[in-house]
Amino acid sequence: MNPEFTPDLIERLRVAQHILVLTGAGASAESGIPTFRDALTGLWERFDPTQLATSEAFEADPELVWGWYEWRRALVAGCEPNDGHRAIARMQSLAKKVTVVTQNVDDLHERAGSSGVIHVHGSINAPRCFDCDVPHEVSALAESEGRLPPPRCSECGGMVRPGVVWFGEPLPQEEWLRAESAARSCDAVVVVGTSSLVYPAADLPRLAQTAGAVVAEVNLDPDALGNAGDRYFLRGAAGEVLPALVDAVWP
């Protein structure tokens, strides 16, 4: 068994009444979706993803930003959930209660079989009007990668934008309240593949820890470990560590 799975951690997860799983881009990396702090490739290699994920970028160059999101939507549509997503879904079927909160805008948790997933940064499959917020039906995926003019809103003629949360925008209120409430009431948190740099999502493990929960973090990079107090760090790829962890806790 992985030596980082200490008997103490295994026992705390086994007896937990409510586990919060918080995922970031690293959870989908093994499915072929680049993380935010990874360099982009191809046509997009000149751009910093964190610079494209803003309303200022969209207003300055809508075709660039819409094209990038349509490229990512196509990428997600062509990717499959990985063993990490499947282990989380299995955890939901074995543990008493598991709430999955994701910062990811893909639907790979759902496709792996997870239910009730809380998307705190929105969804790449739910475009809406930039001006009046009316939802826009997703269009057929573009054949080629590159700049694309955003469609127009059928209500007001405004530009359609991706249904995701950009920097400086509030998180969807209901989703955030549910995520916060899960953090305050859970007894264990499993944090998967996030750099923990983006707030307020990065605060959820700290909130839970303050309320007495144990926190375990799965990440390839030890520097991603939050610095607050006694946490368990499970170094490695989500697709390897999570299935082994689920097997160890619920044999």
Query: Tokens in use for 132?
Result: 């009046």
- Binding span for ligand BJW by CB under 6 A among 93-101, 126-134, 160-168, 178-186: 160-168
Task: Give the one residue of 25, 100, 182, 216 binding ligand BJW; rule: CB under 6 A.
Answer: 25
Residue 150, classified by CB atoms within 10 Å of its CB into exposed (0-12), middle (13-18) or buried (19+), is buried
Under the binding rule (CB under 6 A), the answer on residue 121 touching ligand BJW is yes
Spatial neighbors of 181 by CB under 8 A, at least 6 apart, are none
Cβ 185 to Zn ion, closest distance in Å? 38
Residue 206: name the closest of 221, 191, 220 by CA.
Answer: 191
Under the binding rule (CB under 5 A), the answer on residue 132 touching Zn ion is yes
Residues 139, 164: Cα–Cα separation, whole Å: 16
Residues 80, 99: Cα–Cα separation, whole Å: 21
- Binding span for Zn ion by CB under 5 A among 124-132, 178-186, 203-211, 217-225: 124-132
Q: Residue 212 carries which side chain, given as an amino acid letter?
A: G
Active site residue 121: yes
- Binding span for Zn ion by CB under 5 A among 5-13, 69-77, 130-138, 204-212: 130-138
Binding mask 77-116 for Zn ion (x = CB under 5 A): ----------------------------------------
How do 118-119 and 98-102 pair as beta strands?
parallel
Residues 21, 236: Cα–Cα separation, whole Å: 17
Rule CB under 6 A: which residues touch ligand BJW?
24-26, 29-30, 35-37, 50, 53, 103, 105, 121, 164-170, 193-195, 197-200, 218-221, 224, 237-238
Looking at the annotation, which residues are catalytic? 121
